[in-house]
Chain A
């Protein structure tokens, strides 16, 4: 019997240190380090990024969170997804979105949908008002 901890099936990919940074915030809030893998696009062309994502998919990743919809990270994820349609790609990732996913039931596809709604709903513009006194 193996007592090895299962590797996360969700992965965050971003520009430079984005993924490591945002996951450090997730860990600080949830206290858990076992929820997401991280990948950086740093120093890699799109094919190189895609190769890393394909390796991760082969190792069990089913949901990829990417930072920028127009970015090389998303392009690479979509290319990898072409051969693995069971993989879900989520773009425009934010901390509220990841936290919602982290606390969701382990139904990857629908958890991603709900997390995106949470991420959208978390955005707001707050303007100050002058105090009456």
Chain B
């Protein structure tokens, strides 16, 4: 079974991921791709605390995620791959041809970012990075939780859908 969702979410593992998506998709593992977290036992322990015992978490660096992606994707159980920022997902998409669909789940307010959706704020640089990913054939859409409307990248960037 392929990885069910490739998600960009700056909160990484939290309620929407574990409960909101985890229950309807019956997720059994999470791949958290973050160089900083992959190097910190303390951070990993913190994130593990939020995950039910029947859900595995693999903490990997970008390099490790690229190396191990095929094994994650061939896992018979459903899983989710998570990055905390757009740049990390862009690096994965560039290196992993099979990664062709990306979910924008949460990129929150920070200085220099403009609001695009209730849960998506982007800098000009991040907008350009998303367009560049889309130009290589990656399908990008926003959806914070399964019951929410799927909003395609064009609508996000045109600011048509603040809701």
Which A residues fall within an 8 A CB radius of B? 15, 43-46, 48, 68-72, 74-75, 78-79, 82
Contact = CB atoms under 8 A, between A and B. Distances in A.
Nearest to A76: B11
B12 A70 contact: no
A46 B36 CA distance: 15
B73 interface: no
22 contacts: A43-B109, A43-B119, A44-B108, A45-B107, A45-B108, A45-B109, A46-B10, A48-B108, A48-B109, A48-B110, A70-B15, A70-B18, A70-B49, A70-B50, A70-B51, A71-B50, A72-B15, A74-B50, A75-B11, A75-B12, A75-B13, A75-B50
A80 B11 CA distance: 15
A45 B106 CA distance: 8
B158 to A, nearest CB: 21
B14 to A, nearest CB: 4
Nearest to B115: A43
A79 B47 CA distance: 11
A70 B110 contact: no
Contacts of A71: 14-15, 50
Interface in B32-61: 42, 46-47, 49-51
B5 interface: no
A68 B11 contact: no
Nearest to B11: A72
In this complex, the interface size class of chain B, counting residues with CB under 8 Å from chain A, is 20 to 34
Contact of B42 (A15, A68, A75, A82): A82
B19 interface: yes
Given A44-B109, A48-B109, A78 B15 contact: no
From B13, B14, B109, B119, name the one whose CB has the most chain A CB atoms within 10 angstroms.
B14
Interface in B109-163: 109-110, 118-119
Interface string B1-34: 0000000001111110011000000000000000
B110 A45 contact: yes
Contacts of B18: 70
A79 B50 contact: no
B9 to A, nearest CB: 9
From A43, A70, A79, name the one whose CB has the most chain B CB atoms within 10 angstroms.
A70
B19 A70 contact: yes
B46 A75 contact: yes
A70 B13 contact: yes
A48 B109 CA distance: 8
A75 to B, nearest CB: 6
A70 B14 contact: yes
A68 to B, nearest CB: 5
Leading 4 A-B pairs by shortest Cβ distance: A70-B50, A45-B108, A45-B10, A72-B11
